[in-house]
Amino acid sequence: MTATTANPSAPPATSGWGRRAAALRASTTGFVLTRLGQGTLTLLAASLVVWLLDVLAPGSPAQQVLSSEGIHNPSPAQLQEVSEQLGLDRPLIVRYLSWLGHAVRGDFGTSYISGNPVRAELGSRLGATLILAGAALLIVIVVAVVLGLLAAAYASHWPDVAIRTLTVVCAATPAFILGLLILQVIVVKLGLGTVLADGSIHDVLLPALCVATGSMAVPTRVLRAAVIAAVDEKYAVLARARGARRLYVLIRHGLPNAAVPLVQALALSAAWMIAGTVVVESVFNWPGVGSYLITSLQQRDLPVVQGGTLLATLGYVLASLTADLVSGLADPRIRSTP
Amino acid sequence: MAGNSTGRRGRLFGAAAVATAAGTLLAACATSTSAGAASGARPTLKIAAVFLPSSLDPAKGIDAVFSFAETLTQTDDQGQAVPFLLASAPQQKTATKWLLTLRPGVTFQDGHAMTAQIVAAAMNREMKLSTEAQSDLPGALFTASGANQVTVTTPTQRNLLPYALADRAFAVYDEPVVAAAGSASAALVNKGVFTAPYAITSFTEKGMALTSYDKYWQGTPKLAGVQVTYVANAQTRLAAVESGQVDVADGANNPDIVEAVKGRSDVKLNLSDEPLLTLKLYFNPTTGPFTDTSVRHAVALALDYSSLATQYTAGTGSPADSLLPASLAQHVTSQSTDTTQAAALLDAAGWKAAADGTRSKDGKQLALNLLIYNERPVFKPLSIGIKTQLAKIGVTVNIVAQPFSYTMYDNASNWNLALYNDYSISPTGVPDSYMSTYLAAGGSGNHWHISDPALDALLASLNHATSEAHRKTYLAQIQHYVFDHGYLADVAFVRDGYAVNKQWSSFAADAGFQQQEWTWQTAPSS
């Protein structure tokens, strides 16, 4: 594809270098637009599922609203009045589009329980969740790089086997169990850290470690495999033949070539991390979106559940999109993949 | 070019890894807990709570367990209403008129004196806005009849007025200040609108803080303040006590917690004096086999309540043989266990036992859905106990566990039995209002689809009883009626549980029926 075919109105390129640059821009733009479109479609599909919660949940939303106001046995007139206020008498498609229009602007309605806007409720907790997720991501990166390199350096030897076993154990341990174990052993027995976290960076290590533990398996193994593959390439073999040390070859040649699969693996881990964050926040009393979502689920506070779920979906889509874009920019072959 | 690019990426990666390691190390260093310095000589009580008050406005329904508000009367551990913010017991002047004399020298935390005008205004606001208040004393009107006297006029005779005034719905507060601030909880923080020993200085979804009101009418509070932190997870609440971050964790009558603290010296489980929590089994009379009264009664008779209370509540439950605990004067033994009679009733109703013991009628098996909610962990073992016991007379039980919502009972075809937990006799110590609310047709708490004119007539008679003897008679009749007709059986009376550390080993909450987690005299053991 050339710049001319991609954009007929553009002035013709005057040199080979210019044509290549224009083609690169066009393929990059197309790639970005395609991925953005896919992300938007995913969000739209998720929004429909999330909105259907409201329709399929037992009990009418009007009853939920009245129940939250202490009216547990409302009269038909009260139900009718609130139903009209909530627009429940409109056709489903109109209700969905209206809800979607508000959701796009970040308006998920009002919490049945607190009576505050869902956006404000989620917004006040988002910072704590981002701190937790960010810290967990940093731990995953550090551990994946260190363990992945070690496993690659000692491929098929006991350190490699031990690391692979460890990652399987970590991935298989439920975050809830691990969290309670950390609380009992590290906090209660050893007196390190805190049980009732305040959501700040000071208290983040233990809950972040808990979230990261289940997420580190895939990036570690992907990095190991990519590094092993890279050090078998001719340039790496040549470097070793020229006397370079094995560790130097691993870091200098293996690690950069493992960057793209590592970023993709990290994006895959984001899904687990989002789920893990919800559980870990509850165990550590972390005042983030996840623990709020669990409480809201228990209280059937549907507007909050809808807003929180869509927010989590958005987080996952953004993580995937970022991974795709970074990978695409780093490796032109990925841009041509539909 | 490629080599340069790879080199840059490698350096970037290395830099990121170093930065990450540094950040992680920094976070690790910062993680150590800084112990809060003691403020003054008086300590602060730190509680990990299973829930927070839903509101600070009594008109919206506050939770008395957090003792930030006080009432005109209280119910003592004998179940008797005694004056509290009143100087003397309410005086019944006529059948429908009562005189309340306020205790002198009581001030709100904002410094205003507790006057008859303010109290009357607060009570009338409650009557206007609170469904609980309306249920306790329908149509009551409060009038200031002197500097420290309030007259209460009711449309009909209300002998239980002294008890009703102990309800949190009649908490006393500085009405003009609340009316001006609005009923939003945030607007009531730092306003000092109550008379209690500790004033609310912060209130968020994470917790609440209270500080000593040193001019409290009973004396200077023993604590500098109270810090309540909301901790939903029971194991986390216990870990908070174990780690010393809090002194007391409530909601510890959870079977897992009871087991976890058994035999330990560093953490102890304290149970409340009165078994205020009641685990109830409601029967849905509108669906399937339960449309037949004799089938409901048979199921009620087939349960061994003593065994359920002792084996499935981790030692926190007392057996129930009535809707009321034995400590109340109105208690009569109305529940019994008789599997032979239960089987005979089912046989007579046409539910015949097959060779495998299960019962069927017209080709349909006798199977019941037992609805429980996840928020009360004791329901899980208890429901298994019920299922096991009913299987012995050929009744199959399917346990349906859900997150709690009142709407879960709406669809009558989904359930036959429902385990429900409440404080039916607290804080007033009388069940009268509760019974009408939960059992009468159209009662605001009747989620069970009960509609029985004979029961309604008994409840109406109870509400209009003109003497204690009549009241006692009607209460006895109601207790028998709801069991014999298979509407409701109490499974166990359960004590509230608190996990406490060594310093607070003698922490005792819930003296009497008031559900108070603290009073002005609450202090550490050592």
Residue A175 lies in a domain: yes
Determine, yes or no, domain membership for A11.
no
Residue A123 lies in a domain: no
Residue A309 shares a structural domain with residue A182: yes
Looking at the fold, whether A97 and A137 belong to one and the same domain comes out as: no
- Do A289 and A198 lie in a common domain? yes
With a pLDDT cut of 90, the percent of chain A lying above it is 22
Contact B229 A70 (CB under 8 A): no
- Check whether B405 has a pLDDT greater than 90: no
Q: Is residue A112 part of a domain?
A: no
- Residue A235, C-beta contacts closer than 8 angstroms, at least 6 positions apart: A253
Copy the structure tokens of residue A178. 């691990």
Smallest Cα distance from A133 to chain B, Å = 13
Cβ distance of A208 and B28 shorter than 8 Å: no
Q: How many CB atoms lie within 10 A of CB B336?
A: 12
**CA triplet B193, B248, B221: central angle to 5 degrees?**
40
Contacts of A126 (CB under 8 A, 6+ apart): A288, A289, A311
What are the strands of the beta sheet with B97-101, ordered from one edge?
B91-94, B97-101, B149-153, B141-144
Cα separation, A53 vs A39, in Å, equals 21
Q: What CATH number is given to the structural domain containing A181?
A: 1.10.3720.10
Residue B32 pLDDT greater than 60, yes or no: no
The Cα–Cα gap between B394 and B365 comes to 9
The answer to whether A250 and A236 are in contact (CB under 8 A) is: no
Share of chain B above pLDDT 70, in %: 90
How many domains does chain A contain in total?
A: 2
Same domain, A39 and A177: no
Q: Distance between CA A241 and CA A43 in Å, rounded?
A: 51
A162 is a domain residue: yes
Backbone angles phi and psi of B242, in degrees to 5: -60, -35
For residues A162 and A207, membership in a common domain is answered with: yes
Domain hosting residue A188, numbered range: 132-335
Query: Considering CB atoms only, which of B6, B239, B447 is closest to A183?
Result: B239
Joined tokens for residue B414: 């989904």
3-class SS letters over B154-199 = CCCCCCCHHHHCCCHHHEECCHHHHHHHCCCHHHHCCCCCCCCCEE
Report pLDDT for B496: 83
- B264-292 pLDDT per residue, tens: 888 999 888 777 789 999 999 999 999 99
Q: Which of A56, A85, A104 is the last residue of a domain?
A: A104
Of residues B293, B288, B289, B319, the one with CA closest to residue B487: B293
Does any domain span residue A110?
no
Residue B489 phi/psi, 5-degree rounding, is -135, 135
The verdict on a CB contact (< 8 Å) between B407 and A193 is no
Cβ atoms B81, B166 nearer than 8 A:
yes
Residues 125-144 of B with CB under 8 A from A: 131
Q: Say whether A183 and B403 touch across the interface (CB within 8 A).
A: no
Instruction: Judge if A44 and A143 occupy the same domain.
Output: no
Q: Domain boundary residue among A104, A121, A140? A: A104
Q: Which range is least confidently modeled, A19-28, A38-47, A117-126?
A: A19-28
- pLDDT score, position B52: 83
| Angular region, A252: left φ>0, alpha ψ -120 to 50, beta rest | alpha
pLDDT digits (tens, 9 = 90+) for B416-463: 999 998 876 767 778 888 888 899 998 878 999 999 999 999 999 998
pLDDT tens digits for range A197-245: 888 888 999 999 999 998 888 899 999 988 888 877 788 788 878 887 8
Q: Is residue A15 part of a domain?
A: no
- Would you call B153 helix, strand, or coil by DSSP? strand
Which one of A104, A124, A152 terminates a domain? A104
In this predicted structure, the answer to whether residue B7 has a pLDDT above a threshold of 50 is: no
Q: Per the confidence metrics, is the pTM higher than 0.90?
A: no
Q: Do A64 and A153 have their domain in common?
A: no
Which amino acid would we find at residue B241? V
Residue A126: inside a domain, yes or no? Answer: no
Q: Looking at the structure, do residues A93 and A148 belong to the same domain, yes or no?
A: no
- Tell me: cis bond preceding B319? Omega within 30 of 0 counts: no
- Is residue A89 located within the same domain as residue A136? no
Same domain for A218 and A321: yes
Q: Is A186 exposed, middle or buried (0-12, 13-18, 19+ CB in 10 A)?
A: middle
Residues A76 and A169 in one domain: no
DSSP assignment of B256-310, as one string?
HHHHHHTT-SSEEEEE-SS--EEEEEEE-TTSGGGGSHHHHHHHHHH--HHHHHH
The pLDDT confidence band at residue B479, using thresholds 50, 70 and 90, is very high
CA B23 from centroid of its chain's CA atoms: 46
Task: Indicate if the pLDDT at residue A38 is higher than 80.
Answer: yes
A141 and A54 in one domain?
A: no
Interface test with B, best of A78, A146, A184, A196 (most B CBs within 10 A): A196
Tokens of B487: 């509407």
ipTM entry: 0.72
